[in-house]
């Protein structure tokens, strides 16, 4: 049998997906949604540079002990000049978190962020005795969510790509955040307890105002039997949502079923 004949006989995943559950939902955010993508395009380079700077500072401190007053003053003067030459806006941008953008410049969530929320929600619901998740004994849930529950901005386009054997459009994984308000900022202190005592830092994130919404398709290869669990996870989004600073209920949402646009 030739390769062409074998390809004709292939089901292209139809057997796997014939009993799949498809849920088209809309999330409406009740509180502001915070971006989580780093503003630093070269995170690894910055990390290495930071290590080098620490070593330089330690070595300068050691060198200073054997310097004359004039040499020490010259070294301090050079350090001050380096500080002046820093681009403040650039440094602020590096430390700020943003929303990813699609090719049209629209803020988006990626599919894996929704699945990440599902894992968090599933882990919480498993602790509740009367929950659907507990009743179904959904063990090893992180791996199952990663491999058996998928999120698409439009599953019909994805199915077309599979059926036609074409390369999947990356926009299938990009979920547009719809808002009619300008994107703002959310600045807040972060406190951490360390062996040296409490430390406080300032965190800054892009912020989308309440009322924003997203629509996407959830495809569960576990079939109709998983609907109750997934609905439960979405319900949990009222208490603990998506994005940054979730423990203050940022990114919390309500959800509804909606009909896909034709």
d(C-alpha 219, C-alpha 230), whole Å: 10
What integer pLDDT is reported at residue 44 of this predicted model? 47
DSSP 8-state symbol, 226: G
Rounded to the nearest 10 degrees, the angle between the axes of helix 227-236 and helix 111-125 is 90
Among 86, 141, 84, 90, residue whose Cα is nearest residue 117: 141
What integer pLDDT is reported at residue 141 of this predicted model? 93
- pLDDT per position as a tens digit, 195-253: 777 777 778 899 999 999 999 999 999 999 999 999 999 999 999 999 988 888 999 99
What integer pLDDT is reported at residue 234 of this predicted model? 97
pTM of the model: 0.75
174 is written with which tokens?
């990009």
- How far does CA 117 lie from the centroid of its chain? 9
What integer pLDDT is reported at residue 189 of this predicted model? 80
Q: Which regions of the chain are under pLDDT 70? A: 6, 10-13, 40-69, 71-73, 75-95, 157-168, 261-262
What is the Cβ-side half-sphere exposure of residue 207, based on CA atoms within 13 angstroms? Answer: 16
What integer pLDDT is reported at residue 91 of this predicted model? 47
Evaluate the CA torsion angle 73, 79, 83, 85 in order and state its sign: positive
What integer pLDDT is reported at residue 3 of this predicted model? 81
Q: Determine the 3-state secondary structure of 130 from DSSP.
A: coil
Q: How many residues does the chain have?
A: 262
Q: Determine the 3-state secondary structure of 120 from DSSP.
A: helix
């Amino acid at each position: 049998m030739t390769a062409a004949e074998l390809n004709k006989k292939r089901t292209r995943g139809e057997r796997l997906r014939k009993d799949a559950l498809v849920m088209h939902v809309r999330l409406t955010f009740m509180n502001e949604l915070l971006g989580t993508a780093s503003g630093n395009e070269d995170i690894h380079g910055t990390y290495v540079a930071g290590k080098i700077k620490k070593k330089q500072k330690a070595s300068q401190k050691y060198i200073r002990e054997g310097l004359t007053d004039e040499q020490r003053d010259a070294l301090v003067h050079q350090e001050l000049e380096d500080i002046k030459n820093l681009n403040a806006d650039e440094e602020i941008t590096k430390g700020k978190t943003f929303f990813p953008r699609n090719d049209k410049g629209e803020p988006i969530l990626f599919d894996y962020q929704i699945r990440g929320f599902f894992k968090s929600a599933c882990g919480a619901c498993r602790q509740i005795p009367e929950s659907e998740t507990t009743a179904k004994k959904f063990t090893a849930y992180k791996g199952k969510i990663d491999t058996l529950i998928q999120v698409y901005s439009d599953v019909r386009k994805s199915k077309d790509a599979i059926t036609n054997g074409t390369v999947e459009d990356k926009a299938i994984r990009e979920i547009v955040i719809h808002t009619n308000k300008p994107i703002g900022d959310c600045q807040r202190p972060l406190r951490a307890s360390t062996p040296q005592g409490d430390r406080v830092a300032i965190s800054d994130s892009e912020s989308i105002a309440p009322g924003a919404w997203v629509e996407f398709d959830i495809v569960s290869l576990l079939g109709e039997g998983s609907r109750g669990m997934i609905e439960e996870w979405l319900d949990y989004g009222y208490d603990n949502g998506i994005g940054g600073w979730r423990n203050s209920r940022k990114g919390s949402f309500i959800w509804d079923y909606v009909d896909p646009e034709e």
